Amino acid sequence: MSQIATEAQESADSVMRRSAWKQWIPATAWLGIICFESTDLLSSAHTGRVLYAVVTYFFGHVHPMVFVVWNHLLRKTGHVTGYAILSWLLFRAWRATLPLPNAVTWSFAWARVAFLMTALVATLDEWHQTFIPSRTGNLRDILLDSTAAFGAQLLIWFFLRGRGSTQDEPFPRLEASSSTADTTASAADK
Protein backbone atom coordinates (compact mmCIF):
# COMPACT_ATOMS: atom_id res chain seq x y z
CA MET A 1 0.00 0.00 0.00
CA SER A 2 1.34 3.42 -0.88
CA GLN A 3 2.21 5.99 1.72
CA ILE A 4 -0.62 8.27 0.56
CA ALA A 5 -3.20 5.49 0.95
CA THR A 6 -1.82 4.63 4.39
CA GLU A 7 -2.01 8.27 5.51
CA ALA A 8 -5.56 8.56 4.16
CA GLN A 9 -6.61 5.43 6.08
CA GLU A 10 -4.98 6.74 9.28
CA SER A 11 -6.78 10.06 8.83
CA ALA A 12 -10.12 8.30 8.34
CA ASP A 13 -9.50 6.16 11.45
CA SER A 14 -8.67 9.29 13.46
CA VAL A 15 -11.92 10.97 12.36
CA MET A 16 -13.91 7.84 13.28
CA ARG A 17 -12.34 7.74 16.75
CA ARG A 18 -13.20 11.39 17.37
CA SER A 19 -16.76 10.79 16.14
CA ALA A 20 -17.08 7.71 18.36
CA TRP A 21 -16.14 9.65 21.48
CA LYS A 22 -18.78 12.25 20.68
CA GLN A 23 -21.44 9.52 20.72
CA TRP A 24 -20.40 8.52 24.24
CA ILE A 25 -21.02 12.01 25.66
CA PRO A 26 -24.86 11.73 25.71
CA ALA A 27 -24.70 8.14 27.00
CA THR A 28 -22.32 9.14 29.79
CA ALA A 29 -24.43 12.18 30.68
CA TRP A 30 -27.54 9.98 30.85
CA LEU A 31 -25.71 7.54 33.12
CA GLY A 32 -24.94 10.50 35.37
CA ILE A 33 -28.63 11.44 35.45
CA ILE A 34 -29.56 7.87 36.41
CA CYS A 35 -26.94 7.92 39.19
CA PHE A 36 -28.32 11.23 40.48
CA GLU A 37 -31.88 9.88 40.40
CA SER A 38 -30.72 6.93 42.50
CA THR A 39 -29.80 9.15 45.45
CA ASP A 40 -31.73 9.88 48.63
CA LEU A 41 -32.64 13.31 47.25
CA LEU A 42 -34.91 11.77 44.61
CA SER A 43 -36.46 9.01 46.70
CA SER A 44 -40.24 8.74 46.66
CA ALA A 45 -40.39 10.24 50.16
CA HIS A 46 -38.80 13.46 48.90
CA THR A 47 -40.29 13.71 45.43
CA GLY A 48 -43.79 12.70 46.55
CA ARG A 49 -44.29 15.87 48.56
CA VAL A 50 -43.19 18.10 45.70
CA LEU A 51 -45.22 16.20 43.13
CA TYR A 52 -48.30 16.26 45.37
CA ALA A 53 -48.01 20.04 45.67
CA VAL A 54 -47.71 20.40 41.88
CA VAL A 55 -50.67 18.08 41.21
CA THR A 56 -52.95 19.82 43.72
CA TYR A 57 -51.94 23.22 42.33
CA PHE A 58 -53.05 22.26 38.81
CA PHE A 59 -55.91 19.83 39.50
CA GLY A 60 -57.21 20.86 42.91
CA HIS A 61 -57.54 18.48 45.82
CA VAL A 62 -56.49 14.89 45.10
CA HIS A 63 -57.20 12.17 47.62
CA PRO A 64 -53.86 11.02 49.11
CA MET A 65 -54.56 7.35 48.35
CA VAL A 66 -55.25 8.17 44.70
CA PHE A 67 -52.07 10.20 44.61
CA VAL A 68 -50.05 7.27 46.01
CA VAL A 69 -51.15 5.15 43.04
CA TRP A 70 -50.37 7.90 40.54
CA ASN A 71 -47.01 8.59 42.17
CA HIS A 72 -46.12 4.91 41.85
CA LEU A 73 -47.19 4.81 38.19
CA LEU A 74 -45.27 8.00 37.38
CA ARG A 75 -42.12 6.64 39.02
CA LYS A 76 -42.37 3.37 37.05
CA THR A 77 -42.98 5.35 33.86
CA GLY A 78 -39.79 7.21 34.69
CA HIS A 79 -37.96 3.88 34.98
CA VAL A 80 -39.21 2.74 31.58
CA THR A 81 -38.46 6.04 29.88
CA GLY A 82 -35.03 6.50 31.47
CA TYR A 83 -33.73 3.03 30.73
CA ALA A 84 -35.17 2.94 27.21
CA ILE A 85 -33.33 6.19 26.47
CA LEU A 86 -30.14 4.78 28.00
CA SER A 87 -30.41 1.68 25.81
CA TRP A 88 -30.87 3.85 22.71
CA LEU A 89 -27.91 6.10 23.61
CA LEU A 90 -25.70 3.08 24.26
CA PHE A 91 -26.72 1.60 20.90
CA ARG A 92 -25.64 4.82 19.18
CA ALA A 93 -22.35 4.88 21.08
CA TRP A 94 -21.51 1.26 20.27
CA ARG A 95 -22.48 1.73 16.63
CA ALA A 96 -19.95 4.56 16.38
CA THR A 97 -17.30 2.71 18.41
CA LEU A 98 -17.51 -0.71 16.76
CA PRO A 99 -18.00 -0.21 13.03
CA LEU A 100 -18.87 -3.46 11.31
CA PRO A 101 -18.14 -3.94 7.61
CA ASN A 102 -21.60 -5.22 6.64
CA ALA A 103 -23.65 -3.10 9.04
CA VAL A 104 -24.54 0.49 8.26
CA THR A 105 -27.49 1.23 10.52
CA TRP A 106 -28.24 -1.83 12.68
CA SER A 107 -26.41 -4.86 13.99
CA PHE A 108 -27.42 -7.52 16.47
CA ALA A 109 -23.99 -7.06 18.12
CA TRP A 110 -24.66 -3.37 18.84
CA ALA A 111 -28.17 -4.11 20.10
CA ARG A 112 -26.96 -6.95 22.31
CA VAL A 113 -24.18 -4.97 23.99
CA ALA A 114 -26.46 -1.95 24.50
CA PHE A 115 -29.13 -4.15 26.09
CA LEU A 116 -26.65 -5.98 28.34
CA MET A 117 -25.02 -2.74 29.48
CA THR A 118 -28.42 -1.23 30.27
CA ALA A 119 -29.41 -4.33 32.26
CA LEU A 120 -26.09 -4.12 34.13
CA VAL A 121 -26.68 -0.45 34.96
CA ALA A 122 -30.19 -1.29 36.19
CA THR A 123 -28.79 -4.06 38.39
CA LEU A 124 -26.06 -1.86 39.84
CA ASP A 125 -28.55 0.98 40.38
CA GLU A 126 -30.90 -1.24 42.37
CA TRP A 127 -27.99 -2.74 44.31
CA HIS A 128 -26.78 0.79 45.13
CA GLN A 129 -30.25 1.68 46.41
CA THR A 130 -30.09 -1.13 48.99
CA PHE A 131 -27.47 0.95 50.86
CA ILE A 132 -29.64 4.09 51.02
CA PRO A 133 -32.11 4.12 53.94
CA SER A 134 -34.87 5.95 52.06
CA ARG A 135 -34.59 3.67 49.00
CA THR A 136 -35.07 -0.02 48.33
CA GLY A 137 -33.42 -2.18 45.71
CA ASN A 138 -36.04 -4.17 43.86
CA LEU A 139 -35.71 -7.10 41.45
CA ARG A 140 -38.97 -6.04 39.76
CA ASP A 141 -37.37 -2.69 38.88
CA ILE A 142 -34.42 -4.50 37.30
CA LEU A 143 -36.85 -6.56 35.22
CA LEU A 144 -38.85 -3.44 34.32
CA ASP A 145 -35.71 -1.53 33.31
CA SER A 146 -34.37 -4.48 31.31
CA THR A 147 -37.71 -4.89 29.55
CA ALA A 148 -37.62 -1.19 28.65
CA ALA A 149 -34.10 -1.64 27.24
CA PHE A 150 -35.23 -4.65 25.22
CA GLY A 151 -38.25 -2.74 23.94
CA ALA A 152 -36.01 0.14 22.91
CA GLN A 153 -33.80 -2.24 20.95
CA LEU A 154 -36.85 -3.71 19.21
CA LEU A 155 -38.01 -0.21 18.26
CA ILE A 156 -34.54 0.65 16.96
CA TRP A 157 -34.51 -2.51 14.86
CA PHE A 158 -38.02 -1.79 13.58
CA PHE A 159 -37.16 1.76 12.50
CA LEU A 160 -33.70 1.00 11.10
CA ARG A 161 -34.33 -2.37 9.46
CA GLY A 162 -35.14 -0.92 6.06
CA ARG A 163 -32.43 1.73 6.01
CA GLY A 164 -29.06 0.72 4.66
CA SER A 165 -27.72 -2.76 5.05
CA THR A 166 -27.84 -4.71 8.26
CA GLN A 167 -25.65 -7.45 9.55
CA ASP A 168 -26.99 -10.63 11.08
CA GLU A 169 -30.22 -10.68 9.08
CA PRO A 170 -32.23 -13.61 10.40
CA PHE A 171 -33.19 -14.64 6.85
CA PRO A 172 -30.66 -13.30 4.33
CA ARG A 173 -32.02 -12.77 0.86
CA LEU A 174 -30.78 -15.10 -1.85
CA GLU A 175 -30.44 -13.34 -5.14
CA ALA A 176 -29.29 -15.10 -8.26
CA SER A 177 -27.85 -12.90 -10.96
CA SER A 178 -28.04 -13.83 -14.60
CA SER A 179 -24.26 -14.31 -14.70
CA THR A 180 -24.55 -16.87 -11.88
CA ALA A 181 -27.28 -18.70 -13.73
CA ASP A 182 -25.21 -18.62 -16.97
CA THR A 183 -22.15 -19.98 -15.13
CA THR A 184 -24.20 -22.78 -13.59
CA ALA A 185 -25.80 -23.65 -16.95
CA SER A 186 -22.45 -23.71 -18.77
CA ALA A 187 -20.94 -25.91 -16.06
CA ALA A 188 -23.85 -28.35 -16.42
CA ASP A 189 -23.35 -28.53 -20.20
CA LYS A 190 -19.73 -29.65 -19.83
Which long-range contacts (C-beta less than 8 Å, at least 24 apart) are formed by 13-16?
16/96, 16/99
Query: Would you say residue 58 has pLDDT above 80?
Result: yes
Q: What is the pLDDT of residues 78-121, one digit of tens each?
A: 999 999 999 999 999 999 999 888 878 899 999 999 999 999 99
Query: Would you say residue 181 has pLDDT above 50?
Result: no
| pTM of the predicted model as reported, rounded to 2 decimal places | 0.75
Residue scoring higher pLDDT (48 or 110): 110
